[in-house]
Chains A and B, each alone.
Chain A
Amino acid sequence: MARETLEAAPAVNPTYYLVEEDEHHAASGGGTLLGFWIYLMSDALIFATLFATYGVVSGNFAGGPSPREIFELPLVALNTAMLLFSSITFGMGMIDMESGRTRATLGWLAVTALFGFAFISIELYEFASLIAEGATPQRSAFLSGFFTLVGTHGLHVTFGLIWIAVMMVQIGQRGLIPENRRRLICLGMFWHLLDVVWIGVFTFVYLLGVLR
């Protein structure tokens, strides 16, 4: 009976089985990526609540400084450029990853980290000069909302930088093994989503803030 099944199976099943296998694998390979995507969507909701909070309190200055008085657009433009450059350099790294060029991937990751580090440095410089001017988070609801929203984004970028460093070590040790490729794709989605959030920040916080 069992022998009969075994003998009969190859005639009909192989193609079917292989197709099934392939689909199953494609789904499980994508499982991590889809799961990470769901995490990113929940992260987007965190930023949505912070944007909503900022939107509600953005006019409550409590006699303190208004956006127009404290925001320096040239500095924000420079910061925005840094983050945008880091997105394209990460993209170049992903292309080298797909072609299996380990050293080039590591190089692009390093450049991306450099731009990300420049972004964080400029942001910290901005925060420091705001606080030195007396525009601290405690000063008004507007400033509390501002520091919370922009600070949370900066914290995400900081963790992205740590993740890039960890990935560079992992790739240096093991090369572009499938696990590292999967991690790099997740890191890429994370990094690009931070750039998307920053579009909201520079438009709704800085540009509209200076306009009003």
Chain B
Amino acid sequence: MNASDNHVHGHGDTHGHGTRRDYLIGFALSAVLTAAPFWLVMTGALGDPRLTAGWIIALAFIQIVVHTIFFLHVNTQAEGGWTLLALLFTLVMVAIVISGSLWIMYHLNSNMMSMPMPPEAAAASS
């Protein structure tokens, strides 16, 4: 049992954990994808902050995909596709948690703000 387990780990470990080429491509891509947003913000090259924000968010998402493929080696084959499935499920959860929180709290905020009270409501409450 133990001996065969050892054999298995030794065998399984040599597969699907990236080549030197993978790491170097991933590193080159992420170096560019990291430098670009810092450059955009620090020089204000695009002028418009909204446009800059859009670009750096897009670059962040691209870089996350690059890291996932080249450093974390997630693909359709690894672990019979279960790592990819778990990752996709987690991404859905992350999206729901973050966008849901921001959405709810934004509306809560704007409804709790001190608004000028309409006269009839003011009369009704008094």
> Which residues of A does B touch, CB under 8 Å?
25-30, 33-34, 37-38, 41, 44-45, 48-49, 51-53, 55-56, 73-74, 76-77, 80-81, 84, 87-88, 91-92, 94-95, 98, 177-179, 181-182, 185, 188-189, 192-193, 195-196, 199-200, 202-204, 207-208, 210-212
Contacts and interface: CB of A to CB of B under 8 A. Distances in A.
Contacts of A41: 86-87, 89-90
A181 B13 contact: yes
Ranked nearest first, the 8 interchain pairs of A and B with the lowest CB-CB distance are A178-B9, A29-B12, A91-B23, A52-B101, A25-B8, A203-B60, A48-B94, A41-B90
26 contacts: A28-B5, A30-B80, A37-B82, A41-B90, A45-B94, A48-B93, A48-B98, A76-B38, A81-B34, A84-B27, A87-B67, A88-B23, A91-B18, A91-B27, A94-B23, A95-B19, A181-B9, A181-B10, A182-B9, A196-B64, A196-B68, A196-B71, A202-B37, A202-B38, A207-B37, A208-B53
Given A95-B20, A207-B38, A208-B53, A37 B86 contact: yes
B53 A211 contact: yes
Interface in B40-75: 41-42, 49, 52-53, 56-57, 59-60, 63-64, 67-68, 71-72
Contacts of A177: 6
Nearest to B27: A88
A73 B41 contact: yes
Interface of B: 4-14, 17-20, 22-24, 26-27, 30-31, 34, 37-38, 41-42, 49, 52-53, 56-57, 59-60, 63-64, 67-68, 71-72, 79-80, 82-83, 86-87, 89-90, 93-94, 97-98, 100-102, 105
B112 to A, nearest CB: 12
A44 B90 contact: yes
Nearest to B20: A95
Contact of A34 (B10, B23, B49, B83): B83
A199 B67 contact: yes
The DSSP consensus for interface residues of chain B is helix
Given A29-B5, A81-B34, A178-B9, 17 more contacts: A25-B4, A25-B12, A29-B9, A29-B11, A45-B93, A48-B94, A51-B98, A73-B42, A80-B38, A84-B27, A98-B13, A177-B6, A192-B67, A196-B72, A203-B56, A204-B57, A211-B41
Nearest to B12: A29
B38 A77 contact: yes
A28 B72 CA distance: 20
A52 B18 contact: no
Nearest to B91: A44
Nearest to B95: A48
